[in-house]
Structure formats: structure tokens, C-alpha cells
A and B are shown apart, each in its own frame.
Chain A
Amino acid sequence: MSTKDLKFTEKHEWASVNGNIATFGITDYAQHQFGDIVFIELPTMGKSFSKGAACANIESVKAVADMYAPVSGEVTEVNSSLENAPEQINKEPYGAGWVCKVKMADAAELDSLMDESAYENYVKSVEEK
């Protein structure tokens, strides 16, 4: 999947937009930081999250971390195949490793997210620290 149309957060999530539906996942940088992902707790269908709220929980052998919603919305679909194969997030963070889809509450929130080149620069700045 092409990453050029994705929007990115500073917490290393991505969102792709199709009409008023946004798909969320974590970035390739994030999955590398995690290492082997062994467990995911998916959001509940129909639940609403505001931008920046913890919407899923991801665990590797050693680490536990929340995934935060890039934009506000109501969950319309979850990638339940991850429950049995969480390693999909490591293998295809922008493809089969997507986490959930939401009906956006306010599409204007997308404007506050980074585009691909801004995110690449952001990752570089994080790594230099």
C-alpha cells in the first residue's frame, strides 16, 4: 500500500481517509520500536473516541503501549484477524496490519496531522535525540 496519502501523528499512528471513514494503524517506525507484537486489544465496535484518546492496546514480548486515535470518531470496523495474528502489524503495518476504521466526527481534524514528508522529517528528528 502506498503511504503517500496517509496522515501521521506524533505518537506514530497513521490514518487513511476514504469519504468520511478513516482507517487507523501504527507506523513502520512504531512497529520497529515495539519489536515482535504478540497481543492486541481492539476497540469495541460502535465506541466513540476523541482525537488523542487511547483506542487500542498493543503488546510486544516486552512492551505494552496504547494506540491513540489520530482523529475523533465512532468505530465502524475492527481488524479482528489481528487477534490471532498480531504479527501482521510487524509485517504490514500499512496493509494487513490496520487496526480499526472510524466514522470521522470532524474531518477538519485531519489538517492537524502530518503528511508523509513531514512525518519522515519528524522521525529523523526523534531518532537524532
Chain B
Amino acid sequence: MKKTKFNEAHYVLKGKMIEFCGWDLPVQYSGVSAEHVAVRTSGGIFDVSHMGEIFFRGPQALDAVQYLTSNDAAKLIPGKVQYSGLMTEKGCFVDDLLVHKISDTEYFIVVNAANLEKDYAWMKSKTTQFDVEVINESADYAQVAIQGPKAGKLLAELTNTDLAAMSYYTFTKGEVMGMDAIIARTGYTGEYGFEVYIKDDAQKASKLFLELCQKGEKYGVVPVGLGARDSLRLECCMALYGNDIDDSHTILEANLAWILKLQKGDFIGKDVLLKQKEAGIQRKLVGFEMIGRGIARHGYPVYVDGQQFETIGSGTMTPFLKKAVGMTYLPIGKTEPGSEFQVKIREELVTAKVVATPFYKFDQKSI
């Protein structure tokens, strides 16, 4: 099993370790619910080093990124981050990712751990016509996310970077505990927070993780495992590859038209998506809440008017809102808030209804 550079810290903190995408990572420390609520009310520290870091370098770096992704990377200025889709020819997802523009000739892309090898191979094979080097530097990087209302206060104790001046989806190079770092105001929790990338060795990295936990104590900031990472992202309706987005649903069906810029130049999947936009989609990803007793989970069959229609994308009982919620695809005509459908939970059909998303919206005033 692969170990992140923070691995030693998880054992010091007595995290409950599991294998995730080939990595030895904590699913929880104190408990999923407590960790989830801590992030919403004060903050959490996450090891997200399993995510992949791929660099595009060269005179045609932008052209390559534009050709591979759905969003308009030409809109980025150095220091800006963009959420985007790595598209198949059919306008579906190879993966979703974050594009960071370092300069006109250098982009830093963060992808899902589960898709890293696939993404890297795809990116290399589809950009041979461009003067660009695509380099997988994932093994060099450790990534720690500090998320929640107190994230800025905590991180400020370990860096001179003016964190308060950073707006959402920007990044900067800086130093954290004396280590060179990329500091980004991004995250996967729906909270105010930062993601910090460092290249130092495991010993220094673990020390940083433990220092964050120790300094975080007085703010109520705690280490958080993969369990709460999933419930946090679902509560604010951030899609998870393999659950809510995949290579068989298009970006339009996934309700992610805001990261699709059809007016930009040519890119993989554009033709299909142009046609689909014109013709209209037949199904759409929605958020739902259970009406009957039960929790709809990933893979449970969905029934619309007595007929099975696909399966649940994501579902859980959210620890903060204390509601059984989820995301799933429904046929057009059944996707309006209030629309009811059924989920088969252990051989019984339980009623759910479409609700407005996100389930949880971050409150700026709470920082």
C-alpha cells in the first residue's frame, strides 16, 4: 500500500486506517459525525496527498489544456484556479479537475486519485500535436487541506502569506513552516479554506500535519478522515467521480453547464455537446431528500413512475443537517423540486423528493 508523506502523523493521531485507491489513509480519527460538524463550526485538517498533480509546461501549454478540458482556461490569469472537466469524445467525464495557471507556459492540474493513471495516459495521448510537456509529479507532492471558518486563523500561524487577501479559487507560492508551498484557496467541503501543496520529505511533512493539529486544538480544529470528506462534499453537492459524474453521463446532464464553454475553440467532446445542447438533455443530475424512512446509498435502484431508472449516485445521512440526502439522475420532466420518486432500499420502495441544491450553503459571515 502506498503511504502519503503524512502517513506517520495518522498513526500518531490514531486514525482508523483503510486502503483507499491503493493508499493507506484514515477514514476517521474521532468519528465521522464529530469531524464533519467540526469542519462546519470551526475547522478540519485533511490529508489529500492521494490526489494527482500533473504539470503542463511549454509554449502550447494553454492550447493543450484548452483542447482537453471543458472550461475556458484562456480566461485564467496567473494565480487563478478553475474547476473543469476532462472530456471524452462523447462529452462525458474522463475526470473532473482543478486547473491552476502559473504562467502562460505552465499549468498545474489536480486530478482524482482513482483516475490519476488513466488521466495522465489520456492527457499524454491526446496532446501529441502540441508543443507541451505533460508531467506527472504526483509522487513529489503532499497535499493538506485546512477547511472551515477557523482555517485562515490556523494557517496564518505557520505562514507569512497574506491569506486574508486571497479570494476564492486563487493560489500563490509561499512558505509554510519554512517549506516552499503552493497555497490555494480551494477545497472540497463547501467551507472557507485552503489546500497546501508541499514537496518536502515525509518527516517534515508529518511534522507539519501534527503542528497544524496541535495549533488547531484551541480553535476546535481537528484532523478529519475520508468519511467526513465524503459527507461534507455531498452536503454541499460537489460531484464525486464514479458516483455523480462518470464516462457515461455528459457534462450537460451532470448539471455542470457552468464549466462548459462551447464558444471557445475546438476541444474534445465539443461536437457532441453542441448537438446535445441544441436537442436538449433527456436526464439530469438532481439533489434529493428522503421522505420515507431510510438512507439512499450509491448504487441503490431508482424508480420513476414504477419503472427502474438508473441507480443512486451518492447518498448519506448528513451529520450536520441530519437529513438523508443524495444526488441522482432523473428523467427530464421529473427533475423539478418537489417531484417524487422511489428508491429501492433492501427490497422496499421508499419515497424521496427532488429538492433545491446545495443542501448546505456556506455562510460568509461565519468566518
CA of A41 to CA of B292 in the docked complex: distance in angstroms?
12
CA distance A49 to B242 in the complex (A): 37
A35 x B32 contact (CB < 8 A): yes
* A38: B residues at CB distance < 8 A: 33, 295, 317, 319
Q: Are B346 and A61 in contact (CB under 8 A)?
A: no
A91 CB, min distance to chain B CBs, angstroms: 12
**Chain B: which residue is nearest A36 at the CB level?**
B33
Query: Judging by beta carbons under 8 Å apart, are A35 and B294 in contact?
Result: no
Minimum distance in angstroms from A83 CB to a CB of chain B: 8
In the bound complex, residues from chain A placing their C-beta under 8 Å from that of B31 are: 35-36
* Closest B residue, CB atoms, query A90: B31
Q: Which residues of B contact A60 (CB under 8 A)?
A: 32
Which residues of chain B are near A62, meaning CB under 8 Å? Answer: 27, 32, 227, 230, 316
Contact partner, B295, options A36, A39, A83, Cβ 8 Å: A39
Q: Which chain A residue lies CB-closest to B322? A: A38
Which residue of B16, B231, B293 contacts A61 across the interface (Cβ within 8 Å)? Answer: B231
Q: How far is the CA of A38 from the CA of B318 in the complex (A)?
A: 9
A35 B317 Cβ-Cβ under 8 A? no
A118 contacts B by Cβ under 8 Å: no
A56-80 interface (Cβ within 8 A of B): 57, 59-62, 64
Enumerate chain B residues within 8 angstroms of A64, measured Cβ to Cβ: 295, 297
Residue B88 at the A interface, CB < 8 A?
Answer: no
Chain A 28-59 against B: per-residue CB contact (8 Å), 1 yes, 0 no? 00000001101101000000000000000101
Contact B227 A61 (CB under 8 A): yes
The distance from the CB of B232 to the nearest CB of chain A, in whole angstroms, is 11
Number of interface residues of B (CB under 8 A): 21
B311 within 8 A of A: no
Whether the pair A41, B346 counts as a contact (CB closer than 8 A) is yes
Given A61-B33, A61-B317, A64-B297, A35-B346 contact (CB < 8 Å): no
B172 CB–A CB distance under 8 Å: no
Alpha-carbon distance between A118 and B86 when the two chains are bound, in angstroms: 55
Judge whether A39 and B294 touch: CB under 8 Å. Answer: yes
Cβ–Cβ contact B294 & A41, under 8 A: yes
Least CB distance, A90 to chain B, in whole angstroms: 8
Contact status B32-A36, CB under 8 Å: yes
CB distance from A120 to the nearest CB of B (A): 21
In the complex, chain A residues 4-37 whose Cβ is within 8 Å of any chain B Cβ: 35-36
Q: What 1/0 flags go to B30-53 for Cβ under 8 Å of A?
A: 011110100000000000000000
* A41 cross-chain contacts in B, Cβ below 8 A: 293-294, 346
Knowing A35-B31, A35-B227, A36-B32, the reply to whether A61 touches B316 (Cβ < 8 A) is: yes
Separation of A62 and B33 alpha carbons in the complex (Å): 10
Chain A residues near B295 (CB, 8 Å)?
Answer: 38-39, 59, 64
Inter-chain contacts of B28 with A (CB < 8 A): 35
Known: A41-B294, A41-B346, A61-B33. 5 other contacts (CB 8 A): A36-B34, A39-B317, A60-B32, A61-B319, A62-B227
Counting from the closest, the 9 A-B pairs by CB-CB distance are A38-B317, A36-B33, A61-B32, A62-B227, A36-B31, A39-B295, A35-B32, A36-B32, A61-B231
Binding site for B on A (CB under 8 A): 35-36, 38-39, 41, 57, 59-62, 64, 83
Chosen A-B contacts, 29 in total, with CB atoms closer than 8 Å, are A35-B16, A35-B28, A35-B32, A35-B227, A36-B31, A36-B33, A36-B34, A38-B33, A38-B317, A39-B294, A39-B324, A41-B294, A41-B346, A59-B317, A60-B32, A61-B32, A61-B33, A61-B227, A61-B228, A61-B231, A61-B316, A61-B317, A61-B319, A62-B27, A62-B32, A62-B227, A64-B295, A64-B297, A83-B293
